[in-house]
Structure 1
Amino acid sequence: MDLGLSEEQELLKNSAREFLEKECPEEHVRAMEEDEKGYSPELWKKMADLGWQGLMIPEEHGGAGFSFLDLAVLVEEFGRALVPGPFIPNQVAAAILLAAGSDAQKKKYLPKLADGSSIFTYAFTEPSGRWDRDGVQMKLEGGKLNGTKLFVPDAAVADYIVTAARKGNDMVAVVVPRSAVQVTVLKTIASDKQAEVVYKDVAVADDDVMAVPQAVGDTIRNQATVLECAYLVGLAQKDFEISVNYAKERVQFGRPIGSFQAIQHKAADMVTDVDGMRFIMYKAAWATSEGEDSAQMDVAMAKAWCSDASRRVVAHGQQIHGGIGFTKDYVIQLFFRRQKRAELFWGDGDFHRERVAQMLEI
């Protein structure tokens, strides 16, 4: 396992950073919080033209044919720029179609996803709020779906919602048009357009149902979880950089606060956490991309660490800024609020430590 980026990955990272610094500045992030859609169709089109939506989709379906590890490199830059909108849910939907879809389903949906002409999201959690397989209780019976999904990302702007459900004793994923369900946008700390989605006698065609056996479901969950880790790594890195720059400029008692040992200790703790996050995330991303036997354990450890470490990083960032950091005038609060969303999605630190304990049979 070589955790160094290849030349191609370095080019992807650097070009993505340059593009997002120009196209997704702080002003754009703030504007999308107030925007009803929560994303910019113009920016979405530009990203599609770069091939990002179809990055890991095979070329035969209109994608770029890159690996999942390459996608993790890109999503780290999305976390750094706090890119709003449905990009990550779109990639999770792609992962579901790639892992569980038939050839006909891939041919039908993946080209739309790859060229950005259709937006996809996924619906997994229910009122129980559980992120494990047993948390899915919605049933597909008589060709119809009934029930409620919660915390569905960007459901209000999605064209299709890939919905986790049960058909008898089996797990399935169902491609449902947004027009067939009732969507209510929820108010969240991150202002990120999560939604409640209600299914009432939603008719489902047989060719829109995908079987999701345990092993396939584990692969999909690993990919979705690693993407949240990658986002957190980029977010935490940028939070650290902003905080260090502020400590160099903020003067108190006639000297920059960065000269005080207490601030230096916080900065040292932040960079230690960020470096650890990056190492463990890429280890999990590599194991997932390569289909390694250790992927389940690697992903659980990565999400447990990234969830907790990123929370420490943004807390230190707030403390370095002091009270002013909690005002909306300062950019640092944007990172604080979005960290909480990514920390909780696909399970927090406690959830994944329990998974590690179960795999170790403790």
Structure 2
Amino acid sequence: MDFELSEEQQMLREVSRSMLASTCPPALVRTTSEAGADLDEKLWQKGAELGWASLAVPEEEGGAGQGLVELCLVAEELGRAAAPGPFIETALVAAVAARGGAPGEIVAALAEGTAVASVVDDPSIVHAGGTAAHLLVLTAGDAPAARLAGVNGGRRRTTLDLSRGWWAVEPVDGIDLDVDPAWCRAAMTVLTAADALGVGERLLAMTVAYTSVREQFGRPIGSFQAVKHKAAEMLMTLKGVRAATYRAAMSLDAHTADAELWASVAKAHASAGIAELAGTALQLHGGIGFTWEHDLHLFLRRAKVDEAIWGGASHHHARVADLLPAT
């Protein structure tokens, strides 16, 4: 597989990163959290203007006709900024709804970003459940199904994550979609790994910046060999998570037989690797990293929630063992 980004993919990444850098500073993340909001209206509008919501919607339905790789690029940048709002969930639901036979007006509203959506694996913990108008409900077991449902109220949950709102919700009514729920679940798993990857990239950048100016014994601590080794290990972790995540996204786009296997490989690696990387970042920041005033904790908290949702490392290690072909 070719892991090199195309010119269009590079442009998507650059434009997304630039917009988030200018409009989603940590101060906005804090303000949105303090207001108890699931998203910031101005930031949501900016994302809609960039076409995030319609990115994976087929061209014949008015979308850009892109795939999961492109959604991962956006998810990575959202994680890097700890951006609030279910941008990725809405984009995935728009794409699935368009392919699964949902009414055209619902697909159009989702693709335009005028309707908010989320994805439900466990109704007790749903991202932006208090704002979502539509829920993609995924069920497994003997009768796996994907259903586009409404929301009958909900209760905001208290979690470690200050950058996103998490809810317990009650999905109601809805229509069955002609899509593979296992593919949808694997897609959300990979998109969560991509978000964690972006968080890890931001944590490494913050750590390198801090250790370059924090002095001890008259020298920046970043010049000490032990600190250099820690930073190098963080970078190696990110490279591994990136390779696994985009390998999985490409497999899901191609609908290969081993796509679910690679999705679990990506999430297991991201859950374990980014959690360890976050601990290293905290260690290298020292006492300042524990303070409420420092922005480090916004990313630490998001990393810990990304570690747990859509299956943790142990769950996906077991999935890998189950999905590996017998030899």
Deviates more, 1:190-199 or 1:275-284: 190-199
Aligned twin of 2:241: 277
- Cα deviations by residue, 1:295-329 (Å, 9 ceiling, x for unpaired): 12111111111111101111110000012101121
The one of 147, 161, 168 aligned to 1:190: 161
Which letter does structure 2 place at the counterpart of 1:162?
L
Which of the numbers 127, 130, 133 marks the counterpart of 1:153?
127
SS in 2 for 1:170: coil
Letter in 2 for 1:118: A
Return the index of the structure with the highest Cα Rg: 1
Shift of 1:182: 2.6
Separation (CA, whole Å) in 2 of partners of 1:150 and 1:7:
41
Cα separation, partners in 2 of 1:170 and 1:294, compared to 1, 3 Å? closer
Aligned partner of 1:146 in structure 2 is none
- The one-letter amino acid of 1:218's match is A
Which residue of structure 1 aligns with residue 114 of structure 2? 117
Equivalence for 1:138: none
Q: Give the aligned CA root-mean-square deviation in angstroms.
A: 1.9
How far off is 1:65 after superposition? 1.6
TM-score (norm 2): 0.94
Percentage of matched positions with identical amino acids: 34
Alpha-carbon contact 2:47-2:87 (below 8 Å) kept: no
1:342 positional shift: 1.1
State how far apart, in whole Å, the 2-side matches of 1:282 and 1:328 are.
34
Change (3 A) 1:50 1:228: same
**In the alignment, which of 203, 207, 216 is matched to residue 243 of structure 1?**
207
Quote the residue 2:197 is aligned against. Answer: 233
Deviation at 1:20, TM superposition (A): 0.7
Unaligned runs of 5+ in 1: 126-148
Amino acid aligned to 1:114: A
Query: Alpha-carbon deviation of 1:353?
Result: 0.4
Distance in 2 (CA, whole Å) between partners of 1:325 and 1:75 is 25
Distance 1:260 1:13 in 2: 33
SS at match of 1:55: coil
1:209 equivalent to 2:176? Answer: yes
State the match for 1:163 in structure 2: 137
Contact (CA 8 Å) 2:183, 2:252: kept in 1 or not? Answer: yes
Distance 1:122 1:342 in 2: 15
Q: Secondary structure at the match of 2:154?
A: strand
C-alpha separation between the residues in 1 aligned to 2:103 and 2:217?
A: 63
Q: How many residues of Structure 1 are paired with residues of Structure 2 in the alignment?
A: 325
1:175 aligns to 2:148 (yes or no)? yes
Query: Is contact 1:156–1:195 with CA below 8 Å preserved after alignment?
Result: yes
Q: What secondary structure does 2:190 align onto?
A: helix
1:95 shift after superposition: 4.6
State the match for 1:8 in structure 2. 8
Change in Cα spacing, 1:95 to 1:344, as seen in structure 2 (3 Å) is farther
On the 8 A contact 2:52/2:91 being kept in 1, the answer is no
With 316-325 and 292-301 compared, the bigger mean Cα shift is at 292-301
Q: Structure 1, residues 204-254: CA drift from partner, whole Å, max 9, x if none? A: 36xx22356xxx122111211110111111111111011011001001121
Residues 1:119 and 1:233: Cα distance change in structure 2 (over 3 Å): same
